[in-house]
Amino acid sequence: MSLFRFPRTIYFQRDIVDSLSEILSKEGIRRVLIITDRVLLGLIGGRIERALGTLERDYFTDVSPEPSVDQIRKAASNFIGKEYDAVMAIGGGSVIDFSKAVAVLISSPEADLTAISPFESIGLKTKLIAIPTTSGTGSDVSFGVVLSDRDGKIAMGNYDLVPEIDILDSSLTPLEKKIIVPTGIDAFVHSFEAIASNTSTVFTDALAERAIENIFKNLKGALDNDENAKDIMHISATMAGIAFSNSGTAAAHALGHSFGATFHVTHGTSVGLFLVPTIKYNSQDPQTREKYLRVCRILDAHNIDSLTKVIEDFFTGVGQPIRVKDLGINRDEYESKLENMVALSLRDSELAFNPVLMGEEDLRKLFLETY
Ligand SMILES: [Fe+2]
């Protein structure tokens, strides 16, 4: 069954966060649990407080990245039984994931978070609202949630966890290059992988193609703090998010996850490294090649070779490395961890969405080529 899911309402405009009270009352929300982190609260807490007016609210600010199930349970225990109309996440991907999990427990305190699956309805009793403060992860529109337990990371998903309301305000996004580049590159990779994925549809292709064009033309401007470029980047990251949430990502994410976990490199930087090698690999499939050729027309490239060159030049121009060695990682050390990265990639759920089957030997070759 082909399905396409996304938030019911997306509010998008620079400074729209100043109209929060109006938006929430229009949505019938009188009592809200706001989940954010302490750093953000310090930066924008005053602005949010003013914007909320007399609306009833509680805050939770002790959010940790990739939180454990126990941490979520502890956080939710403070709020169970309080009957919030909405749980509102203000932050990056981790804050939004954290909020999704808290919303599950507020709705069903006995729920087993590790058993969330796409096949059974969760039936949230509270609305989920996302206000993303980075332009990239797509968590504001995705059905996924990443938590951790004793055995490591657990990635789960359910369509009930796609936030019902998404509020996009690029005035909340950071100025630091070290955040703008990897999150922007992540969104760029999401778009390419949404197009390549074997469960892509005409809906996901349309959003992804436009997101590629927008990110390609505006990431540099966002780095220079151009307001219009930042607005476009923020919306495009969400477009890419809707695309990949409905299609899955693919091999660049499987390899990037494995590399990033092994060498502790940021997600966006890691998946960016493997974009060009996987485009080259996937081009052997005629249907995927045809789709990349459409992207060539968007980015003024003549063929797949020139497309990969255009992407590498774009990456270099914004400070995204194109080879593992650019990160200062020693070749012997990289090779010593090769088998582990191959094993991790084979276990990564995103590999199943790659349009061309990728075996152990192919992965090994791609990892080595990318050094
Ligand atoms: Fe990603």
Whole-number Å distance, alpha carbon 187 to ligand 1 midpoint, is 7
Per CATH, the number for 9-172 is 3.40.50.1970
pLDDT digits (tens, 9 = 90+) for 281-308: 999 999 999 999 999 999 999 999 999 9
Whole-number Å distance, alpha carbon 110 to ligand 1 midpoint, is 30
Distance CA 316, CA 223 (A): 13
Share of the chain above pLDDT 70, in %: 100
Whole-number Å distance, alpha carbon 186 to ligand 1 midpoint, is 5
Residue 115 burial class via C-beta count within 10 angstroms: exposed 0-12, middle 13-18, buried 19 and up: exposed
Whole-number Å distance, alpha carbon 51 to ligand 1 midpoint, is 31
Whole-number Å distance, alpha carbon 84 to ligand 1 midpoint, is 31
Query: Which has more confidence, 67 or 23?
Result: 23
Whole-number Å distance, alpha carbon 35 to ligand 1 midpoint, is 22
Whole-number Å distance, alpha carbon 164 to ligand 1 midpoint, is 21
Whole-number Å distance, alpha carbon 236 to ligand 1 midpoint, is 14
Whole-number Å distance, alpha carbon 253 to ligand 1 midpoint, is 6
The pairing of strands 144-149 and 152-157 is antiparallel
Task: At 84, list the tokens.
Answer: 């919030």
Query: Residue 327's pLDDT is what?
Result: 97
The answer, yes or no, to whether residue 326 has pLDDT greater than 90, is yes
* DSSP-derived 3-state class of residue 85: coil
Query: Residue 225's pLDDT is what?
Result: 95
Q: Give the containing element (helix H, strand E) for 178.
A: helix 177-196
Whole-number Å distance, alpha carbon 369 to ligand 1 midpoint, is 21
Per the CB < 8 A criterion, the answer to whether 20 and 51 are in contact is yes
Using the CB atoms, write b or e for 264-303: b if 16+ within 10 Å: ebbbbbbbbbbbbbbbbbbbebeebeebbeebbeeeebee
For the chain, residues classed under CATH 1.20.1090.10 are 177-370
Q: Would you place residue 280 in the very low, low, confident or very high pLDDT band (cuts 50, 70, 90)?
A: very high
Domain 177-370 has CATH 1.20.1090.10: yes
Cα separation values, 277 from 4, 72, 309, 321, 323, Å: 29, 38, 11, 13, 10
Q: Would you place residue 25 in the very low, low, confident or very high pLDDT band (cuts 50, 70, 90)?
A: very high
Question: In this structure, how many other beta carbons lie within 10 angstroms of the beta carbon of residue 323?
Answer: 14
Q: Would you place residue 185 in the very low, low, confident or very high pLDDT band (cuts 50, 70, 90)?
A: very high
Classify the C-alpha dihedral 276-233-175-220 as positive or negative.
positive
Per the CB < 8 A criterion, the answer to whether 244 and 193 are in contact is yes
Give the lowest-confidence range in 100-114, 137-151, 274-288, 332-346. Answer: 137-151
pTM of the shown model: 0.95
- With a CB cutoff of 8 Å and minimum separation 6, the contacts of 299 are 212, 213, 216, 307, 310, 311
